[in-house]
Amino acid sequence: MTGSERQHNEAKTTGSRLYPVYSATTVSIQGENRVEDSFRKEWPSPVSDADGLRLGSVDFVITEKCSLKCKDCCNLMQFYSSPRNADLEQFQTAIRNLAAAIGGIDKLNVVGGEVFMNKRWADFVLALLDTFPTGDVVVLSNATILPVDADLEKIANPRVSFQLSDYSKQGVRQRMEEFTERLERHGFGYKVIHAEGWQDCAHMRDYGRPEAVNKQVFANCCVAGFYSFQDGRLYPCPFASNAAALGAIPEHLDEAVDCTAAVDPEEVRALLELNPPAACSWCPGRPADYKTNSRFSVVTPAVQTRTPLPYPKMR
C-alpha cells in the first residue's frame, strides 16, 4: 500500500486485533446516532466477577509533555507550562496497589501528551504487562517521534498494539510512514486514525448547571467510563485527572482513588458509581453527537499554539 492510499483509509489496522478507538474517532466508528444509554452498554462497562471488579478501559498518563501543542487538545496538554513525566517507581507501586484491589482491566491505554517524550516509556508498558496479567495494552501516539528498535523489542508482546493519530490533512509534520513500517517490522498491530472535526471541549470553568443537567452531560459523554490514572491516582476520566494536575478546577471536585498506598476495593467501586463525577460540573462535556448537536461546536483538529494557554488557577 502506498503512503497516499494509507492516508485515505478511514482507519487501517494490521495484526489480528481491532480496538475500539478513543475520543472523537469513537464517534465515526460508533456512528452518530447513538442514544444516551446505549453507549455504556456497547463499551465494556465495569463488571464484578469471581476475581473482583473489572474495569473496561483506563488511560495511564505517563507524561504531561507533548511534541505538539494542539490548542483544543481534549487532554488539556496546551495548558501545561511545566509538564512532567510520571515517576516510574511511584507508577509501579501505585499500579500494584490498584491491581491488588480489582479483578483486572480490559483495555490499558498508555497515553500523554506524547508517550515518547518520556524516555522510559517502554518500562511503563512493561510494568503494566507485568502487573496486569490480562488486558490489551494500547500505546497512543501522534507519530512525530520514532520509538527506537530496542524499546520496541523490549515490549514485544501480542497484548501490545499502537493507535496513531494522522494529522497530515491539518498540515502537521509527522513520521507516519516510517513509524508504521517500523511497527510492521516488529510485528505490532496498529491503527491509524485520521483526525476529522474535534470536539470543542478544552474549557475549564464552573458551568453552574443544575445537577440533573450535569447528569445528562455525563450520560452523553463519549469518555464516560474511560478512567484515567495520573500521579498515582485513579480518576473518572482524562479531563478530571488533567484538570486536577493543572490545578484548573477546585480541589473539592477531585474524586480519585489514591493508589500510592493500599487501595480499598470499595473506594474503586464508589468511583465507578459516581453519577455524575463532580468534575463534570466544570467541563463543557464531550457529546458523541457533537457534529450534529447545535449546542456544541466542532473545531479543526491539531491547530497549534506556540506557547501554553493561560487559565485561572483554582488552587
Ligand X SMILES: C[S@@+](CC[C@H](N)C(=O)[O-])C[C@H]1O[C@@H](n2cnc3c(N)ncnc32)[C@H](O)[C@@H]1O
Residue from 223, 248, 257, 272 in contact with ligand SF4 (CB under 6 A): 223
Binding residues for ligand X, total number by CB under 6 A:
22
Spatial separation of the C-alpha atoms in residues 180 and 132, rounded to whole Å: 27
Binding mask 176-215 for ligand SF4 (x = CB under 6 A): ----------------------------------------
Least Cβ distance, residue 166 to ligand X (angstroms): 9
| The one among 55, 108, 128, 140 contacting ligand X by CB under 6 A | 140
* 136: exposed, middle or buried (Cβ count in 10 Å: 0-12, 13-18, 19+): middle
Binding mask 54-73 for ligand SF4 (x = CB under 6 A): ------------x-xxx--x
Q: 189 or 225: whose CB is closer to ligand SF4? A: 225
| Residue range at the interface with ligand X (CB under 6 A); choices 23-31, 33-41, 177-185, 264-272 | 23-31
Say if residues 170 and 70 touch (Cβ distance below 8 Å): no
Q: By C-alpha distance, which of 98, 178, 180 is closest to 135?
A: 98
| CB burial string 233-249: b at 16+ within 10 A, e below | bbbbbbbbbbbbbbebb
Cα 58 → chain centroid: 8
- 22/218 with CB nearer ligand X: 22
Interacting residues with ligand X between 52 and 71 (CB under 6 A):
66
Grid cell locating 99: 491491581
Number of CB atoms found within 10 A of residue 47's CB = 11
- Alpha-carbon span 125 to 109, nearest angstrom: 9
Residue with Cβ nearer ligand X (25 or 281): 25
Indicate the residue whose CB is closest to ligand X. Answer: 24
271 near ligand SF4, rule: CB under 6 A: no
Which of 225, 221, 223 shows the shortest CA–CA distance to 47?
225
**Binding status of residue 287 toward ligand SF4 by CB under 6 A:** no
Choosing among ligand X, ligand SF4, none, which partner's interface includes residue 12 (Cβ < 5 to 8 Å by kind)? none
Q: Which is nearer to ligand X, 176 or 263 (CB)?
A: 176
| Nearest CA-CA partner of 199 in 112, 126, 296, 121 | 296
**Using CA atoms, how far apart are residues 231 and 297, in angstroms rounded to an integer?**
31
Binder to ligand X among 61, 110, 201, 257 (CB under 6 A)?
201
The verdict on 19 binding ligand X (CB under 6 A) reads no
Whether omega before 277 lies within 30 degrees of 0, making that bond cis, reads: no
Told to check if 109 binds ligand X by CB under 6 A, we report: no
Q: For residue 38, what are the contacts with CB-CB under 8 A and spacing of at least 6?
A: none
- The nearer residue to ligand X, 73 or 99, going by C-beta atoms, is 73
Binding site for ligand SF4 (CB under 6 A): 66, 68-70, 73, 75, 77, 112-114, 142, 217-218, 221, 223-224, 236-237, 239-240, 277, 279-280, 283, 285-286, 302
